[in-house]
Structure 1
């Protein structure tokens, strides 16, 4: 996309937001989206901006991230989410540019690429755990002071259907996604007194780079791929809702909803922050 096209897209986004005014559910809110250059992150940036939010896009893909930020008249900041200081710098950048933070979509993630047997690779393991789990823990730690300063807010972390079910073919990916689910269920009630809501997103095979190696197999088996827009719309539903400690599962052909864990306490609901 040319610089002129970027400018026109940004102007269009700003004009649409102005026309939406107070009717936009997220008007006046500031959102951070990690892994925002493509896939689920990109679609969620567009959805949050359409709902009225000012968005800071973060990704290691600098060119892609800047293009998405320009599309919505937002901002871009490169960030390796597996680095705690990089997460802190991302939040500081957002506060300086936008005045605060209300929403954090901690979405960055990667495929594992190895198992626990002969194919175990320490570097791949560390990379996957760093992005998929550390990125959520570090992102949450970094953004909490900014959310508290606004009197509350919303954190949504991307887990996976692999965080709710067994995945024998990729146990390490399932392990770090189960950890994100456990974190959401635990932090939801823990942060509720501070009016900070924490929820997890658990999509099945959704349109993103992470499924690229699986596309042939999915096509052969007739497994539908969930459009990224469906996932993005679910993020907006979560952010504009009042639930906390919920794990929303998304499967093709079904309406997204919080997963119902049997024989365990139900998640809490708060007045919208």
Structure 2
């Protein structure tokens, strides 16, 4: 059983000599629970020093203590808060090499009579702005280290239709599009940008769906499976990839079909 599976990370400085992330510094947003917590543990077990960011101070500090790292309260929908988070990581550990932009929320409304502008802005602020702002804030720090890795938590909702929460699908599709575009754009700077796209995974975001998932006998993906995929991405060499994660399947980059090229003019 790994430290991530047991819920206890190896203490800082006691990783094996083969730890692939020894000497690296990672920021994990939404790190107080669920996918962020599991990923912080996995990154620490691999040797990284971790800064845990979340609005949940109690949970965030608990995870930071487990990984021998630091906690920073951060509202990812605020650009200045993202900048302050990166500054904090640099002050504590001397730099940043990895950013897992994981914070996210469900929308809780649609576009019809139930539309709620406040809920819409909250979801877009966390799920899309949090990735854009986090990327903008961390890029100078990665460049200062000669490159690095950014991983955004998207969702299977970014690869398929989501009738139950179309606005969630919209912002997750945006993260997927950003990933596919920024991957090659940042490659020349030795900065890799990828995304994880899990189906229903163990996190607070599925709490309202648990009864439905159970009734339909739909398995919930353990958070550790997502964390292991994040680790594979960070220690790999791909960029612009969106890794799908589904029960019973090996996680791998989703293979997008090419857009059809221009056809012949009509009448030619």
Fold match (TM-score > 0.5):
yes
SS where residue 11 of structure 2 aligns?
helix
Aligned position for 1:25: 20
CA distance in 1, matches of 2:258, 2:185: 20
Unaligned runs of 5+ in 2: 1-7, 261-268
Aligned position for 1:39: 34
Aligned position for 1:3: none
SS where residue 229 of structure 1 aligns?
helix
Alignment deviations for residues 67-98 of structure 1 (CA, whole Å, 9 cap, x no partner): 00000100100000000000000000000110
SS where residue 14 of structure 2 aligns?
helix
Alignment deviations for residues 213-266 of structure 1 (CA, whole Å, 9 cap, x no partner): 00000000000000000000000000000000000000000000000001259x
Q: 167, 172, 194: which one pairs with 1:172?
A: 167
SS where residue 100 of structure 1 aligns?
coil
The answer to whether the Cα contact below 8 Å between 2:12 and 2:44 also exists between their aligned partners in 1 is no
Deviation at 1:16, TM superposition (A): 2.6
The alignment status of 1:154 with 2:149, answered yes or no, reads yes
Alignment deviations for residues 197-218 of structure 1 (CA, whole Å, 9 cap, x no partner): 0001100000000000000000
Aligned residues: 253
CA distance in 1, matches of 2:59, 2:139: 27
Alignment of 1:65-214 (within 5 A): 65-214=60-209
SS where residue 249 of structure 1 aligns?
strand
CA distance in 2, matches of 1:105, 1:121: 29
SS where residue 194 of structure 1 aligns?
coil
CA distance in 2, matches of 1:42, 1:236: 13
Q: TM-score, normalised by structure 2?
A: 0.93
Deviation at 1:14, TM superposition (A): 2.1
The answer to whether the Cα contact below 8 Å between 2:244 and 2:254 also exists between their aligned partners in 1 is yes
Unaligned runs of 5+ in 1: 1-8, 266-273
Aligned position for 1:262: 257
**Distance of aligned partners of 1:236 and 1:119 in 2 relative to their CA distance in 1, 3 Å threshold:** same
The alignment status of 1:217 with 2:212, answered yes or no, reads yes
Alignment deviations for residues 16-52 of structure 1 (CA, whole Å, 9 cap, x no partner): 32xx13x100000000000000000000000000000
Aligned position for 2:54: 59
Deviation at 1:168, TM superposition (A): 1.2
**Distance of aligned partners of 1:121 and 1:107 in 2 relative to their CA distance in 1, 3 Å threshold:** same
- Please tell me the root mean square deviation across aligned C-alpha atoms, in Å: 1.2
CA distance in 1, matches of 2:164, 2:64: 36
CA distance in 2, matches of 1:200, 1:182: 10
SS where residue 77 of structure 1 aligns?
strand
Aligned position for 2:4: none
